[in-house]
Amino acid sequence: MALQWMILSWVVAAEAAVVVLVTLPAPRLVKSRIVALASLLLQPLAGVLPFAAFQLLDLHWKNEHRLICAVDVCTTDERIRYEKSIFKAQRNVILCVLACLLYWCTYRICKYNKEIKELEEVEKRLKEQ
């Protein structure tokens, strides 16, 4: 059960590293190479979107069917276990949302960089004419 969250956390860490690399200021040649590499990584990383969506649905289903621990019914250990599971579920929701958000950010940044490059090429052709 924890393996899927470990995989998702590593994917989020990799996406965060890619976003940082793409947004750091760099010379044009280096920047274009980094953007090209990130663009190549986008297609395989798209698999994280349905995975994260499935995990969100799973968390929602578990939240709907979770036993509610009232103060007068539960022991202290049961109450702690219940609160711990709530905290883990909240952490996992944040992880799923971050995976989707970072993928989208990487996609948009790469797209903007490609559009800027194309506009610079058009501007260069217009100046030559």
Q: What is the DSSP letter of 74?
A: S
Residue 115 CA to residue 26 CA, distance in Å, equals: 17
Q: pLDDT tens for residues 30-64?
A: 988 999 999 998 888 888 889 999 998 988 888 88
Whole-structure pTM value: 0.82
Q: Is the predicted pLDDT of residue 1 greater than 80, yes or no?
A: no
Write out the H or E segment, with its range, that includes residue 26.
none
Q: pLDDT tens for residues 4-19?
A: 889 989 999 999 999 9
Please give the share of the chain, as a percent, with pLDDT higher than 90.
47
Mean pLDDT over each residue of the chain, to the nearest integer: 88
